[in-house]
Amino acid sequence: MSSVTAQSAAAAQDGLAAAKYGWQVVLFSLSGWFFDGYVINVWPLAIPLLMTDLHLSVQAIGSITTLYVTGYMLGTLLGGTFADYLGRRSVLSFSVLVYMFVDALTAVAQGFWSLGLFRFVTGTGTGMELPVGSTFITEAVHSRWRARMLAIMGIGYPAGYALAIGAFATIGAAWGWRAVFVASIIPGIIVFIIRRKVSESPRFHLAHERLARGEVKRDRVANITVFRQPYLRDALPATLYWIGNAFAFWAFYTFIPLYLVKVRHLPTAVELTWLASFQLWAVVVNYLGGWLADRWGRRPFAILFALLTLTTVWGMTLVPDGLPLYLAGGLLFGFNNATWNISFAHSTEIFPTHIRGSGIGSTMACGRIVSILAPLFFGVLAARYGIAVAFRLGALAWLLTIIGYLFSRETSGIDLEQIDRQSLRPQPSLTPLPASLE
């Protein structure tokens, strides 16, 4: 065999190994997003039952959801930062243990304070998934496929949502809402077992080697580095679009089941069927958004889908019952998921590896600090003006997402190694990452 042929065969073998590893990471992250979809959405599905059983008002539910989002913000910040110190795989494996057991403990809640405590701790665990999973995938797959691979990870969320709906339709119907929370420990254990099979990100190891040799620098607390030059130019727009994404999400997503039951008077069986089928819309439109963002850029389609989500929230509150309401709901789930997916891709492509987790975690956490007010905002407005008005006003936060992207730079197809090299201090020799990962 000639040397050229041998080199070609070796390159092809490296490419296949890199592709296999990339898919392992995608499925690894998808499994966590699946459990997140279950854990997050058993809460809104349980709200109508909780309000009756524990004698809670809409405003109390808004306050408890605010506690959850507060924990979610802390988990997002800690998860991204820990991933830069301890590794992507380690943090993702640990996070599922946190909220697997605490979410199950929600079943023993007796009122406002115990319910709020369990939701807060559960939120801390689930918040770790978002920044770390997207960082892991971005570092493991080819630049031409990142948004689409993140969209495949995103399939886990609507699948988990569908499982939560199925749990309420079966377990909940037989034993009540408390049994549904107890059952959350089962998918959690499955996810934890799956996550033991994947190795750590090679880019994470390389970044640590470069830090040890002094080739790159970061503050003792990496989150500080994120908001220093030259990264501040990218961190500020990312913070702005994460504020818009998170506030708008928590101002309507949690309360859609309540809206369909209490305002549109859908029977519970119909409501659950609609919500389950909305997850198909979420999968299809989300992947479409990833394909468009990979093909023609992150910024234009993030702006488009944010605008479409805002418009559809308003449309859902204004259209008549029946098919128009169903179509508005399906499109709403799809457009929302596509906007978030593109944001994951964009915000993991603007920071070098040694602060990538801290970068997405910090900017997302800043967005969530503001979004903590969203459920409380919704509860107050809904109590005074009605749920539909609260939906419309909360949706205006998507304008912040649009503004954030207008001030950001395009990252589609960017070479991660190029970003890393721009952060390097002059050295006599460097250790490059295998080109097969790009």
**Higher-confidence residue: 257 or 219?**
219
Q: Return the minimum-mean-pLDDT range out of 3-7, 23-27, 196-200, 220-224.
A: 3-7
**Percent of the chain surpassing pLDDT 70:** 92
Question: Domains of the chain (ranges plus CATH)?
Answer: 18-428 (1.20.1250.20)
Residues 71-78 have a mean pLDDT of 88
Asked if 26 contacts 92 with a C-beta cutoff of 8 angstroms, the reply is no
Distances 382 to 233, 236, 398 between C-alpha atoms, Å: 38, 32, 19
**369-409 pLDDT, tens digit each:** 887 788 778 878 888 888 888 889 989 999 999 999 999 99
pLDDT at residue 297 is higher than 90: yes
DSSP 263-332: IS---HHHHHHHHHHHHHHHHHHHHHHHHHHHHH-HHHHHHHHHHHHHHHHHHHHHSPTTHHHHHHHHHH
Residue 279: per-residue pLDDT: 85
**Percent of the chain surpassing pLDDT 90:** 39
Burial class (CB in 10 A: 0-12, 13-18, 19+), 214: exposed
Residue 428: per-residue pLDDT: 47
Residue 298: per-residue pLDDT: 96
Residue 223: per-residue pLDDT: 92
**128-167 pLDDT, tens digit each:** 887 888 999 999 998 888 999 999 998 888 888 888 888 8
pLDDT at residue 253 is higher than 70: yes
Residue 10: per-residue pLDDT: 36
Both structure tokens of 348: 């993991």
Distances 307 to 300, 304, 347 between C-alpha atoms, Å: 11, 5, 19
Residues 249-261 have a mean pLDDT of 82
Residue 203: per-residue pLDDT: 92
Asked if 409 contacts 350 with a C-beta cutoff of 8 angstroms, the reply is yes
pLDDT at residue 96 is higher than 90: no
Most confident of 37-41, 368-372, 403-407, 422-426: 403-407
Residue 336: per-residue pLDDT: 94
pLDDT at residue 125 is higher than 70: yes
**100-124 pLDDT, tens digit each:** 788 888 888 888 898 889 889 888 8
Distance CA 137, CA 29 (A): 8
pTM of the model: 0.84
pLDDT at residue 436 is higher than 70: no
Residue 339: per-residue pLDDT: 96
